[in-house]
Chains A and B, each alone.
Chain A
Amino acid sequence: AQTVTQSQPEMSVQEAETVTLSCTYDTSESNYYLFWYKQPPSRQMILVIRQEAYKQQNATENRFSVNFQKAAKSFSLKISDSQLGDTAMYFCAFLGGRDDKIIFGKGTRLHILP
């Protein structure tokens, strides 16, 4: 069975700093997708970034980038030049194999301090 682990329940950084959120997963599948979702206080789930396992190049979306290490089954999210609006809960998620459903990690609560 697939699992997703986020080892940092909560983090705080100063505005404009760079922060990295860690995520590891376990799977026997070779083809799968990984996601980072953001849930701000409004509780809306927002897709931040997506990575296909077959792609070696790390995905980037403006200030957000990932460090995808397939062999290590690691999928960390880097937020550069952090902004107050980045304050949110961040969920790492996995989709792959026979399961038709995304598996979410427990989340990391990120606070950006002014």
Chain B
Amino acid sequence: GAVVSQHPSRVICKSGTSVKIECRSLDFQATTMFWYRQFPKQSLMLMATSNEGSKATYEQGVEKDKFLINHASLTLSTLTVTSAHPEDSSFYICSARGGWDQPQHFGDGTRLSIL
């Protein structure tokens, strides 16, 4: 089946640093990738949608300068949390799909902790 690799799985860093999370589709070309944030015991909150080669579309309330998304190839998207602060601590999950009618396949998530 389709595999999506997300790295790193766990990050602990100091306030003010920037953190990059990678999302790779290993065995298919992902025309669209999605980035979610999940708070404890809650559903996934979509942050942004990215299509290869174009700018990401951010959901309302998500700061695009805070959460930089790059989707430079059909197999890689990155999320950079810039100047991270404790309130950015959360679980971040990416997903990817090959076409509109294809199911989304999820990475294993990244637990981000900002001290």
Whether B106 contacts A45 by the Cβ 8 Å rule is yes
> In the complex the two chains form, is A45's CB within 8 Å of B93's CB?
yes
If over half of B's interface residues share one DSSP class (helix, strand or loop), that class is named, otherwise mixed; here it is strand
Contact among A42, A44, A102 for B104, CB-based, below 8 A: A102
A47 to B42, CA, bound (A): 18
Interface residues of B (CB under 8 A from A): 32, 34, 38, 41-44, 46, 49, 91, 93, 95, 100-101, 103-106, 108-109
- In the complex, what residues of B have CB within 8 A of residue A106's CB? 42-43
Do residues B34 and A101 form an inter-chain contact, with CB atoms below 8 A? yes
| Separation of A41 and B38 alpha carbons in the complex (Å) | 13
Q: Would you list which residues of chain A between 77 and 114 have a CB under 8 Å from chain B?
A: 91, 100-102, 104-107, 109
Query: How far apart are the CA atoms of A15 and B38 in the complex, in Å?
Result: 29
Distance between Cα atoms of A101 and B49 in the complex (Å): 8
Contacts of B101 in A (CB 8 A): 33
Q: Nearest Cβ in chain A — how far from B108, in angstroms?
A: 5
Residue-wise, chain A 42-79 has the 8 Å CB interface mask toward B (1 for contact) of 11111100100000000000000000000000000000
CB-CB under 8 A from B95, the residues of chain A are 45
> What are 19 A-B contacts defined by CB distance under 8 Å?
A35-B103, A37-B106, A42-B108, A43-B38, A43-B108, A43-B109, A44-B106, A44-B108, A45-B93, A45-B95, A45-B106, A46-B106, A47-B103, A47-B105, A91-B43, A91-B44, A100-B49, A101-B46, A104-B44
What is the CB-to-nearest-CB distance from A95 to chain B, in angstroms, rounded to a whole number? 8
Contact assessment for B43 and A100 in the assembled complex, using a CB-CB cutoff below 8 Å: no
Chain B residues in 8 Å Cβ range of A42: 108
Which 3 A/B pairs are nearest by Cβ-Cβ distance?
A45-B106, A106-B43, A104-B43
List B contacts of A109 (CB < 8 A): 41
Residues of B within 8 Å of A44, CB to CB, are 106, 108-109
